[in-house]
Structure 1
Amino acid sequence: MKILLVEPDYKNKYPPMGLMKISTYHKNKGDYIFFYKGIYDCDEIWDRIYITTLFTFDYTKVVKTIEYYKKKVRSSSDIYIGGILASLMTVDLKNDTGLDNIIPGRITTSSILGYDDDINIDTLPLDYDILSDTKYNYPASKSYIAYTSRGCVNKCSFCAVPDLEGDLKITNNIANQITSIRDNYGDKKDLMLLDNNILGIPVPELKKIVTDLNNLGFKNSKTFLYPNVLKNILNTYYRYLDHGKTTLPLLIKCKNYLNDFATGKTRRISQANKKSLTEIIEYLEDHYDFFEALEEKYDELQKILNVYQNKILYQRYVDFNQGLDAREFTEEKISILSKLPLKPCRIAFDNIIFKETYSNAIRMAYKYGIRYYSNYLLYNADFDKPEDLYNRLLVNIELAESLDIQLFSFPMKYAPIGEKNRNYIGPHWNRHYLRSIQAIINVTKGVVVKERDFFERAFGSDLNEFYEILAMPHDFIVYRNYYEEHGYTQQWRNSFTELTNEDRILLLNELSQSKYASEKPAVNEVLKFYTQPYRFDKKN
C-alpha cells in the first residue's frame, strides 16, 4: 500500500508523534510511506491518507487541508483524521468535512484503523526517518521525544488533558523506547518528555523511571559521545532500501561529509590521510554503485576518520517539557527527580493563589541542586487579571535574585478548549491589553528574562506603570527608544494622565474595537497617538 502522512502547515515545535508511530506500524507491514507538511501538489492517488491535527484555533486551516486531500484518495473512507483537534472537535469535523474516520484519543489498537492484528500503535517507537521527507525544521526533532506516563491527577478547567488522556497512568517502558530509537536512528543527546504530570505518579514508579534513564546515560555527568556519522548514513541507507525510499539525499549528504573532511573544511587532517581519503573518494565516485563501494571501503574509511572523531563527552539534558506541578512537590520526589540532568526545569505558575506553593517548589528544587528554570505563566484565563500576571512575573524576578538562579518566564495566552480561533478575551482583560502583552514579549521572542532592570523596563516598576504600558500605542512599546527620544511617549503620557478613570475605560473600549475617534475631546486627544501619523515607519 502507498500511505501518505500529512500535517497541516501550521507552525509547531514538535514533530507529529502520532504519524511517526503510524509510519512504524505500516512499515512493519511492508507499506510505502511518504510524509508531507502542508498541501502536497501531486497527481498521485494514495491507498490511505492520515492527517494529524493540533490546536483547535487552526480549525479553518485543518478543514481546508482535509478538503484538498479528499481528492487524493479513491474513497473518503481512505482518509483518517486524528490528533488533539480531532479528539476535541470530532462532531464538528465530521459535519464540516463529511468524513467518518475522525479518530478521537490514542490509537491503542490497530482495529481502530480497520486492521485485525490488534497492535497498540500508541506504544510503537517513533519513525524519525519520515522527517527527512519535509523541509520543515522541527526544533525538537534532534532530541529523543517520549512519554513515560499519560493523563493527569488534576481536572483543571482550562486544560484538555483529562478529555484527551484521562487519569494518570504509566505507559510503555521508557528504556525500550529510547533503546529502540538509539538502535535504529543513532544516539541523541537530549531527552524531551511530554508527560503532563510526572510528579503525580507513585514514588516507586518515579524511582524506576529515573533509574532507567540514569542507566541509559541521562545523569548528572557527561556521557554523550557524538555518534559516528558514516555509520549512521550507512544504517539509514539500509533502512531506506528496505522501505523503498529514495537514497539520493543520503548520497548527497555522504559526499558532502567526505569532501568536507578531505578539503579540511571539517578540521585539519594530515597530508597522508588527506591523500588516502581523496583516493577513496575518487574510487567511490567512479564506481557504478556509490554505496556498494562505500561498504567495500568502509573499514578503510573509518580507520582514517576515527583519528579525527570527536571523543569529548558532553552533558545530556532532560526536559519535562509540559512542566512540573508545584502542588505535587515533596522532598522525596524531588530528591529522586534531581538525579536527572534537568535543564531547564519547568514549573507551571498559572494562578497567583498558588504563589506560596510555587515559591516553595522552586526553593525545594534549588535545595537539590536544580539551577535552570523556564516556567510557564498562563494569562487571560477566567480567574486571571492583568495585575496577577505582573505579580507572578515579579515573583520570578525576586526568586531569581534571592537564589541566584537562571529563571525565565514564558507567558502563555489562554484560549478555551474548543475555540476555533485565538480571539478569546478573558473577563478581566480587553483586546488592547492582550495585544500590548504580545507586543512586549514579541521583542524577546516570548521570553521574560530574570534581570530586574529588563523586567521593569518592559513591564514597569510597579502596577501603575504596568497598566500605563498596557494602555500605550503598540508601536510605542515595540519601538520604545525611538518614541521616547522623539518626545512622543511623554506627549502621550501627558494626555493620558489627564483622563479620568471613566475616560480611560472608554479609551480602552474604543481601542479594543479599533476605533480612533470619540465624542469626548479628552479621549480624542489621546486617540490621535494611535493613528497613522504616529505609526512607526520601518523603512526609515
Structure 2
Amino acid sequence: MAKKILLVEPDYYTRFPPLGLLKLATYFRNQSFKIELVRGCKKPSFIPDEIYVTSLFTYAWKPVHEAVKFYKRLFPKSKVILGGIYASLLPDHAAKSGADVIYQGIFEEADTCVPAWDLVPEWDGSIIFTSRGCIRNCPFCAVPKIEGKLREIIPSIKPYVYPKHTKIIFWDNNILAAKNWRNIFNELEELNKWVDFNQGLDARLINEEVARKLARLKLKYVRLAYDNKAQRKKLKKAIDHLAEAGIRKRSIIVYTLYNFHDDPEDFKERVTELLNWGVTSYPMRYEPLTSLKKNSYISKKWTREELEMVAKARRVLGYAGAFPPYEGLVKKFSKAKNFYEAFSLREPKRKKGRSNKCARWAGGLDWREVVCLSK
C-alpha cells in the first residue's frame, strides 16, 4: 500500500504559496506516494503515515506550534516532521512544538524538483531558485546560516516554468553572482513572461552589460538595497546604469535598512538621497533572526518613538509602505534639517479613490487575499 503523506502550511500570513511543500509533493509523487496539501488545522481525507509541517520567520512560530499540536492529537501514530526557516534557525524552540523530527536546512533531495503547481491553481507565478547561498555574509541575513556559500543548482529555468503562469519569480539570493546568469537572462528574454527578481539584485554587480540585459526583460520593478552608507557609490552607479539602459527610475525599489547599526539621522540621509536620485525607498526595519515577536527589537541607536514615526510616515506619506520620489516628498525630506523634521507630519485627508489594494511592492496581504482582489 502506498505511503500517505500530509503536507501542512500553518495558518500564518504569507505572500507566497509554500514552495518547499510543493517541491516535496513532487518528490513524494515520484515515489508513487499519496499526498495532500492543507492550510492550517484541517482534517485531511486520509490518515497520514507522515506529516510534514513547514515554517516561515521565527516570529511567526505560534501558528506552527498550533498546527503541530493539532495533527499530533488528531493522528498520534503519525510521524510529524517540522522544517523551514523557523525550524532551522531555532531548532530547540521548534522542538517544544512536540514534532517528532526537527529538520534543519534544505531538503536537498527535493530542491530541484518541479513544484506541484496544480495544488495551488489560483496562484500565478513560477517561483524558481537557480542557485542557493550567497557570496556575501551580511550579519542581518539568514541565508549564510541556512544555505551557505553560493552554488548553482539548475542550469536552465525552462523545465521549471509552469505553462499556465504569466510570471517568473526568482528567489535566488544573489543571481548575478552565479556563473550562469547570462544563460538565465537569455532564457527569460526568449520566454517573454513577466519577471520579478524578488530577493533583489546586488547593486555592486550591476554594470552596463547587466543593465542592458535587464532592460530587455519584462520587469515591473527592479529591487536593490541600501543597507549602509558604504554602499552609496556603487548603488548610485548601478542606478545610473539602469536608467541609461532605459529602466524607469521610479520602478527601481531600494530596500533601506534601519534599526540595525544605523541611527535615525543616517537613515534619513539615505532615504533623502534615494528620493533625490528619483528612485523609490522601501524602509526595511531590522529584526533579529531569532526574534519571537515581530517589531519588538529596538537597536541602541533608536527609540520606540522614532521607530513609530517611521511606521506612521510610511502609512501617511508613503504608498504601500514605500516612499516614491513624489515631488512633495523630495522637497520635504530635502528641506528637513534632521530626522524629526523629515518624519514629523500631520495626518492628511486620503484622496478619494486612492487605494493600496493593488500595490505589489512589499504586499500587505496574504497571497490568497491578493488573488481574491484580482478577480
Q: Residue 214 of structure 1: which of 189, 193, 201 is its match?
A: 189
**8 A Cα contact 1:327 1:357, kept in partner:** yes
Distance 2:220 2:211 in 1: 14
* Higher RCO structure, 1 or 2 (CA under 8 Å, sep 6+): 2
2:178 counterpart residue number: 201
- Give the corresponding residue for 2:357: none
Question: Could you report, residue by residue, the CA deviation over 1:398-439 in whole angstroms, capped at 9, with x for unpaired residues?
Answer: 111xxxxxx322111111111111211111111121122112
For 1:214, the aligned partner's letter is E
2:235 & 2:208 partners in 1: Cα distance? Answer: 14
Counterpart position of 2:259:
380
1:342 aligns with 2:344: no
Match of 1:416 in 2: 288
Note the alpha carbon deviations across 1:248-277, whole angstroms, 9 max, x for none: xxxxxxxxxxxxxxxxxxxxxxxxxxxxxx
User: Could you tell me how far apart the structure 1 residues matched to 2:46 and 2:187 are?
Assistant: 45
Give the secondary structure class of the aligned counterpart of 1:5: strand
CA shift in 2, pair 1:437/1:26, >3 Å: same
> For residue 54 of structure 2, what is the aligned residue in structure 1?
52
For the residues of structure 2 that align with 1:397 and 1:469, how far apart are their CA atoms?
12
1:42: how far off? 6.5
Q: Is the 8 A contact 1:48 1:73 kept in 2?
A: no
Q: Which structure 2 residues correspond to residues 43-442 of structure 1 after superposition, within 5 A?
A: 45-75=47-77, 78-94=79-95, 96-108=96-108, 120-132=109-121, 141-179=123-161, 181-182=162-163, 186=164, 188-202=165-179, 205-215=180-190, 217-218=191-192, 316-371=193-248, 372-381=251-260, 383-400=261-278, 407-422=279-294, 423-442=296-315
Looking at structure 1, the residues matched to 335 and 63 of structure 2 have their Cα atoms a distance apart, in angstroms, of: 41
Rounded Cα–Cα distance in structure 1 between residues aligned with 2:160 and 2:47:
35
Deviation (angstroms), 1:208: 1.5
Q: Which amino acid aligns with 2:266?
A: D
Tell me, in whole angstroms, the C-alpha distance in 1 between the residues paired with 2:219 and 2:151.
Answer: 22
Q: Does 1:462 align with 2:336?
A: yes
How far off its partner does 1:480 sit?
4.2
Offset from partner CA, 1:52-79 (integer Å, 9 cap, x none): 1011111233222222221132436x11
CA distance in 2, matches of 1:367, 1:460: 25
Cα deviation for residue 126 of structure 1 reads 0.9
What is the RMSD computed on CA atoms of the aligned residues? 2.4
1:308-332 deviation digits (Å, cap 9, x = unpaired)? xxxxxxxx32111111111222334
Q: Would the aligned equivalents of 2:128 and 2:157 in 1 still touch at CA under 8 Å?
A: no
Please tell me the residue identity of whatever aligns with 1:355: R
- The one-character-per-residue Cα deviations of 1:452-476 (angstroms, maximum 9, x if unpaired) are 304556x684143x41565x6xxx7
More helix by share: 1
Note the 1:482-521 alignment, pairs <5 A: none
Is this contact kept in 2: 1:47–1:74, CA < 8 A?
no
Q: After the TM superposition, which parts of structure 1 deviate over 4 Å for at least 4 consecutive aligned residues? A: 41-44
Give aligned pairs, total. Answer: 343
Query: Could you tell me how far apart the structure 1 residues matched to 2:331 and 2:21 are?
Result: 44
SS state at 1:6 partner: strand
User: Comparing 415-424 with 66-75, which one deviates more in the overlay?
Assistant: 66-75
TM-score (norm 1): 0.59
- What secondary structure, in the 3-state scheme, does the structure 2 residue paired with 1:126 have? coil
Unmatched segments (≥5 aa) in structure 1: 109-119, 219-315, 401-406, 483-540
Matched residues in 2 for 1:350 and 1:460: separation? 20
State the distance in 1 between where 2:181 and 2:124 align: 25
Give the letter for the 2:211 counterpart.
I
Distance 1:11 1:36 in 2: 15
CA 1:57–1:97: 2 relative to 1, 3 Å? same
Q: Aligned in 2, Cα 1:128/1:73: closer, same or farther, shift over 3 Å?
A: same
Q: TM-score, normalised by structure 2?
A: 0.84
SS of 1:397's equivalent?
A: helix
SS of residue matched to 1:33:
strand
- How far has the Cα of 1:130 moved from its partner? 1.8
- How far did residue 153 of structure 1 move? 0.3
CA distance in 2, matches of 1:43, 1:369: 53
User: In proportion to residue count, which structure has more strand?
Assistant: 2
State the Cα distance separating 1:199 from its structure 2 match: 1.6
The alpha-carbon distance between structure 1 residues 362 and 468, as it changes in their structure 2 partners (threshold 3 A), is closer
Residue in structure 2 matched with residue 446 of structure 1 by the alignment: 321
Q: 2:349 and 2:26 mapped to 1: Cα distance? A: 53
Deviates more, 1:422-431 or 1:370-379: 370-379
